[in-house]
């Protein structure tokens, strides 16, 4: 089976109640203005604001009450 050809265009996927998934090369600016380049084929950016790994998602949104999820 052939591997899919990577898209030259970065994509963004919003996960309901969870992170924003970035595919491709991106630069993410955190709340302090620091720039972070994506280093993985798919990177998860925190949208709930509770991750200990800001700006990256650490799964904390899963333990938040439904009303506090993005």
Contact at 8 Å (CB) between 47 and 19?
yes
Instruction: Show the beta-strand stretches assigned E in 1-70.
Output: 11-14, 20-23, 27-29, 35-37, 42-45
Q: Which domain holds residue 46?
A: 31-70
Q: What percentage of the chain has pLDDT greater than the value 70?
A: 87
In a domain, residue 67? The reply is yes
In a domain, residue 65? The reply is yes
The predicted model gives 46-65 an average pLDDT of 96
Task: Please tell me the total count of domains within the chain.
Answer: 1
- For residue 1, pLDDT beyond 80: no
Contact at 8 Å (CB) between 62 and 45?
no
Both tokens of 41, joined, read 């084929």
């Amino acid at each position: 089976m052939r591997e899919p050809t990577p898209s030259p265009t970065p994509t963004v996927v919003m996960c309901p109640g969870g992170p924003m998934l970035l595919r491709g090369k991106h630069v993410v600016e955190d709340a302090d203005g620091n720039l972070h380049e994506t280093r993985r084929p798919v990177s998860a950016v925190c949208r709930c604001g509770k991750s200990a790994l800001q700006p990256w998602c650490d799964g904390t949104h899963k333990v938040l009450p439904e009303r506090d999820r993005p």
